[in-house]
Structure 1
Amino acid sequence: MSPLASPTRTGSTAKPEDETREYGVRAIERVCAVLNLLQESVDGVTLKEVADAAELPKSSAFRYLWTLEKHRYVERDLDSGLFRIGLGFLGMQSRHLEVLRERVRPSLERLRDTLDETTNLGVLDGHHVIYLEIIESRRSVRLAASRGSHDALHSTALGKAIAAHLPESRVRELLEQVGMPRRTADTITDVDDYIAELAKVRRLGYAVDNRENEPDGRCVAVPILGTRLPAAISVSAPEARFPMRDVEKTAQTLIEVAEQITLTPLPMDEPQ
């Protein structure tokens, strides 16, 4: 045998290249299955639901979730044990968003305590609004989404407040890509009507979702204009407890809170 020749190994445990590649693809598909499940859930999912979706034992599913949580693509509710989509998908802005959330949360808590209704912080994430923070009303019946969940741009007060300060061409492009599905009988589903609604939002300084996203819900929102992030805060409640006559007064309170939030520049807005 030539000294340069390699001896033939018997009983090798090395996997053929095709098998290794196939294993890697299966792992990616399982991650995608987990993320798809989380993305579709509003309230969060259990470990068993994740294991079933990914066709994995619970122990393996937990390792997947632990790794995704470590990189902030998944977050776990310590009280309920449910898993939700995380903020890691918001990319390089994630630190800015964390700073914004930390800055806004005390104001939302005070606002919730004053109005006794749910308060929200939302930012534009792709074609939708993501709820970056939610301070729920303490009432047993309340109108509240889940932190990290997404909602439509065209049917929510948060979406309108943000879209009103985007270029019209961008708003039209976003709506063209995702459509304007009818959520309720009062949802605006025509682009030109929506553009006219945004002009009204700019004139008044606040946006209203008057049973447009939920048939028995009402919400008012104002933009946070002091940062580079497309963000807004809102108050939401069942319509029976939030009559239209109270909207303007609530909006003025929100405007004052938004102005207070932006009095001190956020770190990403300070000159470098």
Structure 2
Amino acid sequence: MRNPDSTDTCELERDYSVRAVERVCLILNQLQESVDGITLNEVAQTTGLPKSSAFRYLWTLENHRYVERGTDGNVFRLGLGFVGMQSRHLEILRERARPSLDYLRDEFGETASLGILDGDHVIHIDIVESRRGVRLAAARGERVPVHSTALGKSIAARLPDDRVRDLVKQTGLVKRTSNTIDTIDEFFEELAKVRRSGYAIDDREHEEDGRSVAAPLLGTHLPAALSVSGPSSRFTLADAKRVARTLMDLASGITTNPVAGAQRMETPG
């Protein structure tokens, strides 16, 4: 014979589990919709939980890397735990960017790269190397700083200022060459230029003999960019600025949205 109290307890546990999952989903949806991050108060209001309970949810999600906190401890954003879940999006991105990388390499004779922000660095997720004997090359999977690379600067220019400050605080502005930007004020001035022009240039800031230009991908929610890089002795500033227009055109046409991608393909010209 069943113990009624036991049955009631099981029902309560099941009900609580469902409500807990719903609250987690509410929090994650809220995080995904916010560019600047959300506060504990906003989470409490959305879930209807007391702030102490809302904090426990966020703390647990943070421990599993699904949530990360800003340096002031008051703003929460989606964390790196979701990177693996975006693997299909990354594969789609690689597939759709590859023809552009091939075109850039063949058109300008220099190495073309696709990079994405991964935590506090940019990772090269695809590279098409120059066919020239002397070239500026990087390895697929290589992680590079945000502040000293064209890829990093073009991606950072699309982020909120507080997010950029968080990145810089985590990594520092390491002086890689005599040209590397190493103060936060200079970095924000540089990002303002990138926002105005639509592209970023690494003028011997990451490597003494390297120069690159990059443009952000505008058709995807992923923080990604395309770049063209070469030895500074051959790939001049004038060359980089000339490449920038083609780079921006190609970068704006790459999307991870199948519907948008199909619409672009059907659009003449």
Q: Pick the TM interval, shorter chain.
A: 0.5 to 0.7
**CA shift at 1:89, angstroms?**
9.2
**Aligned ranges 1:76-91 → 2 under 5 Å:** 90-91=83-84
Residue in structure 1 matched with residue 257 of structure 2 by the alignment: 266
Using the alignment, how far apart are the partners of 1:256 and 1:121 within structure 2?
A: 15
Q: Which residue of 1 aligns with 2:94?
A: 101
Label 1:119 to 1:89 Cα distance change in 2 as closer, same or farther (>3 A). farther
Equivalent residue letter for 2:121: H
In structure 2, the partner of 1:33 is none
The residue correspondences of 1:29-40 to structure 2 (distance < 5 A) are: none
* AA aligned opposite 1:90: V
2:267 is aligned to: none
- CA shift, 1:91, in A, is 1.4
Deviation at 1:253, TM superposition (A): 1.0
> Take 1:233 and 1:240, find their aligned partners in 2: how far apart are those partners?
22
For residues 97 and 141 of structure 1, the distance between their equivalents in structure 2, rounded to whole angstroms, comes to 30
Shift of the alpha carbon at 1:192? Answer: 1.2
Of the candidates 136, 153, 158, which is equivalent to residue 160 of structure 1? Answer: 153
Q: Match of 1:183, SS?
A: coil
Aligned to 1:176: 169
Deviation at 1:257, TM superposition (A): 1.1
| Cα displacement string for residues 127-150 of structure 1 (whole angstroms, at most 9, x for unaligned residues) | 000001000001111001100110
RMSD: 1.8
8 A contact 1:158–1:222 mirrored in 2: yes
Whether 2:239 is the aligned partner of 1:246: answer: yes
Letter in 2 for 1:180: L
CA contact 2:124–2:139 (8 Å) conserved in 1: yes
**Letter aligned with residue 208 of structure 2:** P
Mapped to 1, the partners of 2:233 and 2:146 lie a distance apart of 24
Task: Give how far 1:171 is off.
Answer: 0.3
Q: Which residue in the other structure is 2:114 paired with?
A: 121
SS of the residue corresponding to residue 89 of structure 2 reads helix
For 2:225, which of 190, 207, 232 is the aligned residue? Answer: 232
Which structure has the larger Rg over C-alpha atoms? 1
TM-score by length of 1: 0.64
Q: Contact 2:218–2:254 at 8 Å: present in 1 too?
A: no
SS state at 2:141 partner? coil
Q: 1:167 to 1:136 in 2, by over 3 A?
A: same
Per-residue CA deviations over 1:144-198 (Å, capped at 9, x if unaligned) read 1100110000000000000000000000011001111111010001011101100
Paired with 2:201 and 2:90, the residues of 1 have a C-alpha distance of 24
Aligned length, in residue pairs: 181
> Counterpart of 1:211 in structure 2: which amino acid?
R
Question: Where does structure 2 lack aligned partners over 5 or more consecutive residues?
Answer: 1-80, 262-269
Aligned match for 1:206, one of 199, 210, 215 = 199
1:219 aligns with 2:212: yes
Indicate the residue corresponding to 1:137 in structure 2: 130
User: How far apart, in 2, do the equivalents of 1:202 and 1:224 lie?
Assistant: 13
